[in-house]
Amino acid sequence: MNKNLWALPLLAALATACNSTSTNTAGADGKPDLLYAALDTTVAPGDDFFSYANGTWIKNHPIPASESNSGIGIEVQKEVYGRLRQTSIDAAKANAAAGSNQQKIGDFWAVGIDSLKADKLGIAPIKPELDRIAAMKTAADVPGVIAHEIPLGVRALIGPRVGQDDKNSDKMALYLHQSGLGLPNRDYYFNTDTRTKNIRRSYVRHVANTFKLLGQDSTTANANAARVMALETALARSSRKLEALRDPYKNYNKMTLAQLDKLTPGLDWKTWFAQMGATNVDSVIVGQPEFYQMVGQLLKTKPVDDWKAYLTWQVTREFAPTLSQPFVDESFRFYGTTLRGAKAMRPRWKRVLDMEEDALGDALGQLFVKEYFKPEAKARYDTLVKNVVSSFAQHIQNVDWMSAPTKVVALDKLHKITPKVGYPNKWKDYSNLTIDRSSLTANVMRANQWQYNYQLNKLGKPVDRTEWGMTPQTYNAYYNPSNNEIVLPAAAFAVPTLLDADADDALVYGYAGASTIGHELTHGFDDEGSQFDAKGNLHEWWSKEDRKRFNERVAVIVKQFNGYTLLDSLHINGKATAGENIADLGGIVIGLDAFKKTKQYKEGKKINGLTPVQRYFLGYALGWQMHVRDESLASQLLTDVHSPAQYRVNGPMADVPAFYEAFGVKPGQKLYIPDSARVKIW
């Protein structure tokens, strides 16, 4: 339930402002005014508030050739990369003590940036895995090989993970989810529009080209690519659609191992789990039983040559970005250009930093917060969280569709939400993770294995509710229903080119209070999060009448977003994006009432001709200041539960009466919705 998907920026708050090509028009006090500088006043706010708020910025920030989008996340990301790059370079030169975090950061960087070594090694780093696959004699050997590959990070056939039991949040459970596809999700295998059919054809060519890089002749490579596509299509046929994956009850099917064996005749799950390191497992939560029925059937009916082709592809696909340049280029051609629309590959050093973040994120995080997230900033956002929670409590008390008894329980849940702001109080211990200069691939494999073991080690142990699922340098946030918590990394509050001290409350309350804090709080009460109680358990705590009235309002927002058309003929999936759309709308109205208690709102002074409330709404729009390539946008519509940025602004704004008042929106304008037809939940 993340704020957005543009991750990995650094917090600029209270640090040196980063460089930008934009002009930050100053207000009367001489401070830069990002909101005013971004405006496109040729657009009427009531027709397209997103373009009005962000249009000039977007015109001045074309999408870099190496990116699929240009936006606020990319701008903040410029600083994170610069700082993490220098940290890594310094670590590589430091001759640090063996086993220290600095040694690991330095060695990961040094071998990662060494493209000549990667080219010299060729496929050697994955050769043992390819040999293991080639040595399979019958399909009976397949589960054992998969058990070896999954801990290394290969998403082959099945999707095990460890997480809190949705119906018993004090216990860690083993889950099985649908997995194993090389395309982003099932719809790519079946949609009949021209764009998707072209992607399918390109995918098969990409798989064949990868096999050729491994040394297969054209005939063999093409035959194996067809095998891969046929097997993945069978898996996709039994995979659930994006919107179906959001129903927590239907995706919770707890089974004993005997029941799981019965679901998939011929498979011995106890042995298979033991091969994956999961011993003493007595039950498992299966997300999509029909998918695992297909897994069992395929393991009985597909010949071993099909599995050799499939697993060879999955291993190579996973590690191609770490191998020699031909593999890197071929992977980028499909996953970067065909799927995302990027015109050029990002510099190697940025790609290595991304891998380093995945492998050693907490080690980097410790260095990050020490220098860049000062106590003054943390205090400001701790207070902001309290103010938004207080505002939400008032909204719960005032809504007319929720009964008094349910309001009592809702308020109890709200006040039991744990806010985690900035950074964790304890960090992951990487002491048993080996990082050296043998190869980038080996380091990525070992880091994946470490993370797998770290998660697996939680089974049978008390739940650690202090743990964070994001690093503090991540430009994102989330609500975790099992812990009933909102997690707000330090970088989630970053505003590029602007010091925190120079950001007025209107901007901060819109940008952080609405689009991040209020948004995540509301997730606890959206169509999915509302099904979990204050202790984090999947449990119906609403009355039937309350749920009915709530669902009636959700149906209206689903219909509203289903009606938005992009790229000529593609539509937003209103049902799949409902939770995020509810949270966006909730965050705006809750954050606004919190802002109304500030000194800036009460004084009512204009800055560059903008009232405090106008600046609040512009602050919210700043959070979605981005534009995206058509290819990436088309992919987002099929795979993402978040609406595109433009509609995360225009969609909810059309339902907020205060927006109409602030900008004089009138009938006949494109965003105008009659009051009786507007969505009102919180």
Whole-number Cα distances in Å, 222 to 117, 197, 243, 335: 30, 18, 34, 19
Closest CA to 645 of 662, 663, 622: 622
**Mean pLDDT, rounded, for 577-589:** 97
Q: How far apart are the first and last CA of the chain?
A: 18
State the pairing for strand pair 283-286/168-178.
parallel
The CA-based angle 50-52-58, given to 5 degrees, is 75
| Model confidence pLDDT, tens digit, residues 448-482 | 999 999 999 999 899 999 999 999 999 999 999 99
Other beta carbons less than 10 A from residue 550's beta carbon? 21
**Mean pLDDT, rounded, for 551-580:** 96
pLDDT confidence of 27, banded at 50, 70, 90?
A: low
Contacts of 454 (CB under 8 A, 6+ apart): 428
Helices (H), 514-576: 519-523, 544-562
Residue type, 433: L
pLDDT confidence of 30, banded at 50, 70, 90?
A: low
Query: Counting beta carbons within 10 angstroms of the beta carbon of residue 673, is it exposed (0 to 12), middle (13 to 18) or buried (19 or more)?
Result: middle
| Partners of 42 in beta bridges | none
pLDDT beyond 90 at 367? no
427: tokens are: 């960090």
- Angstrom distance (rounded) from CA 272 to CA 261: 11
Is residue 586 within 8 Å of 516, Cβ to Cβ? no
* Strand ranges of the sheet holding 418-422, from the earlier edge strand across to the other edge: 418-422, 485-489, 478-480
* Residue 40: predicted pLDDT: 98
The CA-based angle 132-138-139, given to 5 degrees, is 90
Tell me the average pLDDT of the chain.
93
* Residue 362: predicted pLDDT: 96
Is residue 67 within 8 Å of 342, Cβ to Cβ? yes
- Angstrom distance (rounded) from CA 659 to CA 665: 8
Residue type, 214: L
pLDDT beyond 60 at 6? no
pTM, full prediction: 0.92
Contacts of 368 (CB under 8 A, 6+ apart): 10, 83, 471, 472, 473, 490
The CA-based angle 466-519-521, given to 5 degrees, is 45
Is residue 455 within 8 Å of 473, Cβ to Cβ? no
- Angstrom distance (rounded) from CA 479 to CA 1: 6
* Residue 441: predicted pLDDT: 98
The CA-based angle 128-129-133, given to 5 degrees, is 115
Domains of the chain (ranges; CATH) run: 34-83+351-677 (3.40.390.10), 123-322 (1.10.1380.10)
| Model confidence pLDDT, tens digit, residues 115-167 | 999 999 999 999 999 999 999 999 999 999 999 999 999 999 999 999 999 99
97: tokens are: 């003590």
φ/ψ of 486, rounded to 5, equals -110, 135
Query: How much of the chain, in percent, has pLDDT values that exceed 70?
Result: 96
pLDDT beyond 90 at 22? no
Other beta carbons less than 10 A from residue 394's beta carbon? 11
**Mean pLDDT, rounded, for 404-426:** 96
The residue whose two tokens read 């995706």 is 251
| Model confidence pLDDT, tens digit, residues 206-234 | 999 999 999 999 999 999 999 999 999 99
